[in-house]
Amino acid sequence: MNNEHKVLIDEIAHLLQGGNAHAGLKKALDGLPPKLRGIKVDQLPYTIWQLVEHIRIAQWDMVEFSKDGSHESPNWPEDYWPKELAPKNDEAWDKCLKQIDDDLEALIDMVKTKDIYIKIPHGDGQTILREALQVADHNAYHVAEIIMIRRLLGAW
């Protein structure tokens, strides 16, 4: 791996973990009181739980698509957004966060070990690079929403 490619790979991995320009999910959720996970703020369509669960589902889908030609994506948009305002319990919350971490680790491993420029065989032009950038962009967008909700709730 030449130095320029290593720099790119390292920057993509860093971006996926929160980057320099925005907070990562861990920081956005740090210190969040459990009672605020399911609070819906006026005029906003989602709770923090719904955003976190949406991040999990969408990221899982992109990671699985990247590695498994037999993967079937959920129906868009209904299966990407939970109906419940809050997690059933702390275990559901923790399980969701663990899957986000595990899937993110799997994606970073793909970025570091696969050719990120080759088209994914079962796709229609996607590459690991595109999927990684899409995950980073998608997660950053929704992390910003989580932070905004926390600000509106006086918990940031």
For the chain, the domain total comes to 1
* End-to-end Cα, the chain, rounded Å: 41
3-state secondary structure of 80: helix
The pLDDT mean for the chain works out to 95
Quick: pLDDT tens for 41-97: 999 999 999 999 999 999 999 999 999 989 999 999 999 999 999 999 999 999 999
The model carries a pTM of 0.96
Residue 127 phi, psi dihedral angles, 5° rounding? -125, 165
124 secondary structure, DSSP code: S
Backbone torsion region of residue 31, taken as left when φ is above 0, otherwise alpha when ψ lies between -120 and 50, otherwise beta:
left
Q: Is the pLDDT of residue 20 over 90?
A: no
**CATH of residue 12:** 1.20.120.450
Q: Is the peptide bond preceding residue 77 cis, with omega within 30 degrees of 0?
A: yes
Give the structural domain span for 138. Answer: 3-152
The pLDDT of residue 114: 96
> Mean pLDDT throughout 22-33?
94
Which residue is associated with the tokens 């957004």?
Answer: 81
Q: CA-based Rg of the chain, rounded to a whole angstrom?
A: 16
